[in-house]
Amino acid sequence: MTKHKENEKDTNVNKEEVITLTITEHEGLKESAKIAEEFKNKYLMAHADLDNARKRMAKEKEDYVKFANEKFLSEILYVVDNFDRALDHMNGTQKVDTILQGIKMIQKQFHLLLEQKGVIKIEALGKKFDPAFHEAIEHIESGEEEDGIIIEEVQTGYLFNNRLLRPSVVKIGKKK
C-alpha cells in the first residue's frame, strides 16, 4: 500500500479522545448525574400534578356552572306549589275576589324571592327616560310639561345586583 493510502485509512478510523479523570472527579460527575436525574423526576411529577390540578379545576368549574341555580330553583318551587294550589282551589270556587287575592299573594311571594336574590324592579312610570335603563317603543303626545317623561310601562325592567338585567319597555310623552 502506498503511503498516501495508509494516511487516508487512518483518517477513516473513529477518533475518540481519551480524557483522564481522577477518582474524585469521576465520583463528582456521578453525583451530578444523580442530582440531575432527581430534578428531572421532580419536574415530571410537578408537571403531572399541574395537569391533574387543571383537569380537576375544569371539572369543578363545569359542575359549578351546571348546578349554580340549584338553590334558587329549589326556592322557586315553593312559588310553583302555591300556583298549583291556587289553580286547584279555582276549580272548586267561582269567587273571583278570592282567586285574585290568592294570585296577588303569590305575586308578592315571587317578587320577595327575586329581591332576596338581588333582582330589583326598575321604577319607570313618571320618571325621565334614561336609555341606560329604558327602551322606548313609542312617543305619545301628552299634556306633560316636559318631553321624555315615561307615561306608560309596557314591560317591567329589572336590575340584578345593580346591573341591568332587562330594560323597561316604555312609551314616552312629548309636549303637544
Which residue range is the domain that position 102 belongs to?
70-117
Query: 139: Cβ–Cβ under 8 A, 6 or more apart, which residues?
Result: 171, 172, 173, 174
Segment holding 169, helix H or strand E:
strand 168-175
Given this model, what pLDDT does residue 52 score? 97
Mark 155-164 as b/e (b = at least 16 C-beta within 10 Å): eebbeeeeee
Given this model, what pLDDT does residue 12 score? 52
Given this model, what pLDDT does residue 124 score? 94
Q: Closest Cα to residue 72, out of 114, 11, 107, 106?
A: 114
Given this model, what pLDDT does residue 70 score? 87
Question: Would you say residue 3 lies in a domain?
Answer: no
Question: Would you say residue 9 lies in a domain?
Answer: no
Question: Would you say residue 152 lies in a domain?
Answer: yes
Question: Would you say residue 170 lies in a domain?
Answer: yes
Whether residue 160 sits in one domain with residue 133:
yes
Question: Would you say residue 16 lies in a domain?
Answer: no
Given this model, what pLDDT does residue 164 score? 96
Whether residue 174 sits in one domain with residue 123:
yes
Grid cell digits, residue 91: 276549580
Note down pLDDT in tens along the chain; length 176 residues: 455 555 555 555 556 788 888 999 999 999 999 999 999 999 999 999 999 999 999 999 999 988 888 888 888 898 889 888 888 877 766 678 888 888 899 999 999 999 998 999 999 999 999 999 999 999 988 776 678 899 999 999 999 999 999 999 999 998 87
Question: Would you say residue 1 lies in a domain?
Answer: no
Question: Would you say residue 10 lies in a domain?
Answer: no
Question: Would you say residue 61 lies in a domain?
Answer: yes
Domains of the chain: total? 3
Whether residue 82 sits in one domain with residue 53:
no
Whether residue 138 sits in one domain with residue 99:
no
Q: Closest Cα to residue 148, out of 136, 164, 166, 132?
A: 136
